[in-house]
Amino acid sequence: MSDNVVKFERRPKPKPPRQTPPWLKRLLTIVAVVAFFIAAFAYFTLKGGPAGPGF
């Protein structure tokens, strides 16, 4: 037999994109908000208070 034969095959189905579960999205949002407040607290603690006229 000859190996010079075209074989027709179905294309493999593409995998659907990975979906982030809702609970993980909510957790990431909460972690980001907490990290923002911690960063703001650390900034103002190290800076010595809010900056502005009259303070």
pLDDT at 51: 60
Tell me the CA end-to-end span of the chain in Å, nearest whole number.
92
The pLDDT of residue 5 = 84
Distance CA 47, CA 28 (A): 28
Span 1-34, pLDDT tens digits = 567 888 889 999 999 888 889 999 999 999 999 9
- Whether residue 44 contacts residue 50, with contact meaning beta carbons closer than 8 Å, is answered with yes
CA of residue 54 relative to chain centroid, distance: 41
Assessment of whether the complete model's pTM goes beyond 0.95? no
